Amino acid sequence: MGYYTQQIVTEKGSEAIARTVAKQSTLTFTSIKTGAGKYSIYEISKLSSVTELKDEKQIFDINSISSNENTIQLTSILTNVGVTESYEICEIGLFAKENDGEEFLVAISLNAENPALMPVFDKVPIEMQVGDYLTVSNSENFNIQYKSAAYFSTSPIVWLNSSMVTYA
């Protein structure tokens, strides 16, 4: 699985993070959403103004949040449970709410060249962990950096019979 390298913080995300850093509001990260949307070069140039994924497929909770100084790390577990039609994960969106308002897209990350495949669920769930890093600066020139990395679980699976699975 490749890295999601084309990451864009949306205009609304930048504004909300700036208000949060200035202690004017509270930002609560709510979910990670995945999609199969592919973008033209023109659409990529306009990504900062998008408000939703192009072809949303699944929604996942954020499993953990940690921070140190100016970096926030968010982790989410993606799974194929409930997937009835496989798709390529070409877009990943980070969503949040500001002061208990409506959820909005903070950042979008793309990978059309080497996307992960979310397979159809068939007896055994496939899981991927996604780690998102936001680096914010409280300086006059507000900076933010969003990175994503994902991988498949590496636990070997041992089949005992058709109705039982154990993890080694």
pLDDT digits (tens, 9 = 90+) for 92-117: 999 988 887 899 999 999 987 889 89
Long-range pairs, 62-65, Cβ under 8 A, ≥24: 62/29, 62/30, 62/31, 62/32, 65/29
Question: What is the pLDDT confidence band of residue 153, given thresholds at 50, 70 and 90?
Answer: very low
How far, in Å, are 30, 48, 127, 160 from residue 124 at the CA level? 27, 37, 10, 13
Of 80, 81, 83, 74, nearest to 148 (Cα)? 74
Residue 129 has pLDDT above 60, yes or no: yes
Phi, psi of 101 (to 5 degrees): -80, -155
For all residues of the chain together, what is the average pLDDT?
78
| Lateral strand order in the sheet of 91-98 | 6-9, 104-110, 91-98, 27-35, 56-61
How far apart (Å, rounded) are the C-alpha atoms in residues 15 and 166?
Answer: 47
Predicted pLDDT at 88: 94
Residue 27 has pLDDT above 90, yes or no: no
Predicted pLDDT at 160: 42
Bridge partners, residue 152, by sequence: 128
Segment 27-53 shows an average pLDDT of: 92
For the entire predicted model, the pTM comes to: 0.78
The residue assigned the tokens 């769930």 is 125
Predicted pLDDT at 8: 86
The residue assigned the tokens 């590496």 is 154
How many CA atoms, within 13 angstroms, populate the side-chain half-sphere of residue 63?
11
